Amino acid sequence: MATTAIPQTEPRKAPPAATAKPVETEVQVPTETDWSTPQALAIPKEGYFKLEKGRYGPIYPRTPANYGFSVIAKVIPGHEQQVRDYGKTIEEAVKGAPNVLAPLRLHYLRWVLFDVGSGLHFMYQGIFDTDFDKYLEDAVALFNATGVTTVFTHLEGWPEDWRTNMPAVIEFFRSHQAPSFLEYGEYPYVTADEIKKALKLKETFSSMLDLMQ
């Protein structure tokens, strides 16, 4: 019995897989009003990006951590205990009047004593919401208004007439400042007042939710 040959056909090829097109995502560049995106900022050695003159010298920029400085000066020999005691003075002043430092619009202060072999040094590190020069003007005005002296009287080079000689005070701070070369903000450019308002709002909502239960 004759057989009929079945023609051979090539196996069907699967259609090529569709190539997924890359999804284009728009990169959001954080701004000073974008508190939700952490930011870091590298700062030139000079402490500013371009030279702009302020009331007493170069204007230092606002960073994601807000304004601030780190002032380092040598302690007058034998004055270490007076410097440490002044920390207690500030503690008691704030306990007695929690808003005593409010004019400075501070986020925080850090005071450090250290000796790397050239004598005892004091570091005053602060972050605040005003510009550099206004902070110093407000600080001197605050000390004059309260009658309280300042820890800087125990540092070498501090002007004796600091209560009335603002230019000399500014010069001391500027000549003893160690500018940051990097600053970071987890919630950049947010002011202390904005943080307190947000916490107050949270507290209010929590109280309302408690009343609804």
Domain of residue 125 covers 39-207
pTM: 0.78
Q: Is the pLDDT of residue 24 over 90?
A: no
Would you say residue 122 lies in a domain? yes
Residue 32 lies in a domain: no
The pLDDT, as a whole number, for residue 42 is 95
Residue identified by tokens 């007695």 is 96
Q: Within a domain: residue 141?
A: yes
What integer best gives the mean pLDDT of the chain? 86
Residue 16 lies in a domain: no
State the total domains in the chain. Answer: 1
Report yes or no on 48 lying in a domain: yes
Task: Identify the burial level of 188 via C-beta atoms within 10 angstroms of its C-beta, where 0-12 means exposed, 13-18 middle and 19 or more buried.
Answer: buried
pLDDT of residue 1: 46
Locus of tokens 């005053």:
124
Residue 6, in any domain of the structure:
no
Give the pLDDT mean for 130-149. 87
Is residue 11 assigned to a domain?
Answer: no
Residue 196 domain flag: yes
